[in-house]
Structure 1
């Protein structure tokens, strides 16, 4: 029997006090959660440029990694695009490890202790998320928020897929979208002259000369140390910090907690650019031949602090026709349906996303088109019709490319602006192909088949040639977590799925 990790025991102890009826189910979900996180970790070890791994050998019985101190780490042949939990054990110098946190601890490499703690929390939280799915049906949801809440396992490739440090078990049940709660956002009054506002801040979120800023209750309790008299009830969406107000907008709140890779605050920089980016995106979508909508930013405000800010956006459901039976589905939720099991459907979906993504890249905009930001409008029969994109805060814009195509260059500055071609391609290919499409396909074999079919009809631009012939960039998520002194994204090069000869 597997020896429980202390993090698992801590969650079980809290669960016994909060929802004791789920204890048996939680224990039953732990082995699968360990394998799910270990699979993600093994992918990172096998492919990311971790400085303490000096060599990688592929053999008939798997892959062997040589560490800088001479030790050897052996595991199954890795599929860099697999989403199924196929790794149940990895051997370090012959010693078997089933728990990713124990493996990371015994690797004894720089920054392993903190990362091992996150892995342990990811396993326990993932088991908790899965345990809370009693009563869930396989029927397609009737409303958009229910699609978001179907993504129980979190990021398909990040070992910290469900890591929520700082959240108690009770708070995970209260705020985690997979548990389908109703959340009471606090409405914190701040004098208007103390705020930076872009767009239009609605009248019903004002109190005389003060703005009422929506605040996530976790943020209010743990960071701001404030209580709010007025509340706004909303349903948490996939990112946890963004919530859908019934009949109203989506509200993106600051949440100064580390979820997977990042602390989810809202920078003053992103607030200052939000209206400009929203207007620019409207004009950009018009160049996509009706295949793309971008949710408009209605208003954004900050009290000059990343810990106290909010963004109001249109619901993606705005761009579906209920009369025609259309649905707007986050790409990350497609894997919860049977649609990707059809090679023809997967090829059609891949063709749609690449057509839009490469068209915008050629014009000069690289979308951060991962499975959370990218949504697809499905017909009543499930056919992919067009795309919806939300959250413009991390796109990249090339003034040189825009000017070359006669597109007016918006008044932007900072990290969003770059003419660096590799950086633009990494942004799109890493999020769309290595992220959204790979996560939907679920394996290198399925992804390769979809790409082979989809690219036949695409214009052979230099960007497409790079996608066809070069290694595929993907964020080195584990390297980033183990490099606390290195800001920004770091990258791995994955085998090009069109040339992948693995499993």
Structure 2
């Protein structure tokens, strides 16, 4: 059972925040630095460095952690679990880290703030928006999935998707001789009018707050103007720094159903979410490759069609223009964020996975939607999609059956031969199999026990017998599991993925 089954009353927000925050941290500890004790000791794990025993309940979202001390099991709060994790990681790695424990605690405080805010916020009518704004637990294998940089909640809560936020965008005028842009950015010019000699540049208000006085010289000498705010409101997707701009805000067909991605100088999960110069300079090449690949593939791709910024604040003020959903969805379908399908039913009661009366058909539909475009892009076009849960939208028909995958985010895409085929395949297997299918499969099993999930995956992979790696995957004993806890503890770059072998459920049965 998930840690929270209903929106908690206000006096139990702290307990609910603990439960939501304990689950992903436990998943990290059990995957990366522990091992099951053995038969007859269900839920008991030995921490490898210290030898201490840790007991939990549940599997997909483990709860109620207890540590064995002096022959007795002692329950752990989230704060106590953070302390235990830090002690174990120091022993395991020989390294100290004061930053990550603070992030873990910040993540828990953020969850408490979300839960309190949601209790008073109107629930959005649009099921797609509800799916994007439902991720209260978030990444199931990250020690601090909801950390917001350690600042006070008053600074970031107005922009938090988990709090059903919506807000106007800040509008800046950038002097024309300082503008840098590539690709198609014409949609930005429909948001408002810029004065003569200036170009319009929308900005995320939280990012402007974070920049503080860094732009004061540009405002003082006229390179930058404040033009107010948009008349209507945008709303943040699960990615936080990417917002949806509805047609009513733009007032123009050019900007209908538009997504805008901003820099955000805050560490969220493994990375500071700035639009880095090297990624922006490679954006058009990457996006063209993916767009060309999807011209002959099932599913759809939301193109990152261009970016605009200022040369004196290239990364800080950059904005990426992304296709909206209009024109990409199969007729009569409703898009949902795949990650929402793994959240508890209180956070996302619209979940068609939970409501389906034919879970086998639902699961087969999901596989048919998400697997072929990801494998086809890799094998036929050398494109490695970052096909994890937060970059996958699943379009469902009126009965809730998945019929189409929509992928997004060129920044996370890798191209062959920029990376080797072997490295590209490992990344695809982690994103598609481990981060996506394993998590969705676990949710299916939780809602509908007894479904033979992995036989269907084997059948789907067997259909792609032209992809040699897919055939090899059917016989591999392990899958690559990303070590987010160790990666953050050792201070590795967020893009420097490190994997450990996980049992491959495809070889069972």
Other structure's SS at 1:498 match: helix
Other structure's SS at 2:282 match: helix
Other structure's SS at 1:126 match: helix
Q: How far off its partner does 1:137 sit?
A: 9.1
Q: Which residue of 2 aligns with 1:204?
A: 190
Q: How far off its partner does 1:135 sit?
A: 6.8
What CA distance in whole angstroms lies between the structure 1 residues aligned with 2:440 and 2:332?
A: 23
Q: Which residue of 2 aligns with 1:265?
A: 274
* Cα displacement string for residues 8-30 of structure 1 (whole angstroms, at most 9, x for unaligned residues): xxxxxxxxxxxxxxxx9444032
Distance change >3 Å, CA 179–CA 391, structure 1 → 2: same
Q: How far off its partner does 1:261 sit?
A: 1.8
Q: Which residue of 2 aligns with 1:86?
A: 62
Asked if structure 1 preserves the Cα contact closer than 8 Å seen for 2:121 and 2:163, the reply is no
Matches of residues 251-290 of structure 1 in structure 2 within 5 Å? Answer: 251-288=260-297
1:459 aligns with 2:459: no
List alignment gaps of at least 5 residues for structure 2: 1-7, 220-225, 248-255, 343-347
1:116 aligns with 2:101: yes
Other structure's SS at 1:197 match: strand
Q: How far off its partner does 1:257 sit?
A: 0.5
What CA distance in whole angstroms lies between the structure 1 residues aligned with 2:82 and 2:130?
A: 35
List alignment gaps of at least 5 residues for structure 1: 1-23, 400-416
Q: Which residue of 1 aligns with 2:335?
A: 328
1:386 aligns with 2:404: yes
What CA distance in whole angstroms lies between the structure 2 residues aligned with 1:142 and 1:394?
A: 27
Q: How far off its partner does 1:91 sit?
A: 0.7
What CA distance in whole angstroms lies between the structure 2 residues aligned with 1:89 and 1:134?
A: 27
What CA distance in whole angstroms lies between the structure 1 residues aligned with 2:210 and 2:374?
A: 39
What CA distance in whole angstroms lies between the structure 2 residues aligned with 1:444 and 1:272?
A: 40
What CA distance in whole angstroms lies between the structure 2 residues aligned with 1:493 and 1:77?
A: 23
Deviates more, 1:437-446 or 1:370-379: 437-446
Distance change >3 Å, CA 427–CA 193, structure 1 → 2: farther
1:215 aligns with 2:203: yes
Distance change >3 Å, CA 76–CA 293, structure 1 → 2: same
Q: How far off its partner does 1:418 sit?
A: 0.9
Matches of residues 8-407 of structure 1 in structure 2 within 5 Å? Answer: 25-48=9-32, 50=33, 57-61=37-41, 62-68=43-49, 70-76=50-56, 79=59, 82=60, 85-91=61-67, 93=69, 96-106=74-84, 107-108=86-87, 109=90, 110-134=95-119, 141-142=125-126, 144-202=128-186, 203-204=189-190, 206-225=194-213, 228-232=226-230, 233-247=233-247, 248=256, 249-288=258-297, 291-304=298-311, 305-320=314-329, 324-335=331-342, 336=348, 337-341=350-354, 342-363=359-380, 364-399=382-417
Distance change >3 Å, CA 59–CA 115, structure 1 → 2: farther
Aligned residues: 447
* Cα displacement string for residues 197-251 of structure 1 (whole angstroms, at most 9, x for unaligned residues): 1112223365433333222111111224359332233111111111111213111
* Cα displacement string for residues 56-81 of structure 1 (whole angstroms, at most 9, x for unaligned residues): 6434223432443x4413223884xx
* Cα displacement string for residues 267-309 of structure 1 (whole angstroms, at most 9, x for unaligned residues): 1122222222222222100221xx2211122320233432221
Asked if structure 1 preserves the Cα contact closer than 8 Å seen for 2:127 and 2:336, the reply is no
Q: How far off its partner does 1:93 sit?
A: 4.2
What CA distance in whole angstroms lies between the structure 2 residues aligned with 1:123 and 1:27?
A: 16
Distance change >3 Å, CA 251–CA 100, structure 1 → 2: same
| TM value normalised by structure 2 | 0.79
Other structure's SS at 2:327 match: helix
Asked if structure 2 preserves the Cα contact closer than 8 Å seen for 1:320 and 1:377, the reply is yes
**Pairwise CA RMSD of aligned residues?**
3.0
* Cα displacement string for residues 348-401 of structure 1 (whole angstroms, at most 9, x for unaligned residues): 2123212222222212221101122111221122222221111111111114xx
Asked if structure 2 preserves the Cα contact closer than 8 Å seen for 1:64 and 1:73, the reply is yes
Other structure's SS at 1:319 match: coil
Q: How far off its partner does 1:338 sit?
A: 4.2
Q: Which residue of 2 aligns with 1:409?
A: none
What CA distance in whole angstroms lies between the structure 2 residues aligned with 1:424 and 1:472?
A: 14
Asked if structure 1 preserves the Cα contact closer than 8 Å seen for 2:133 and 2:162, the reply is yes
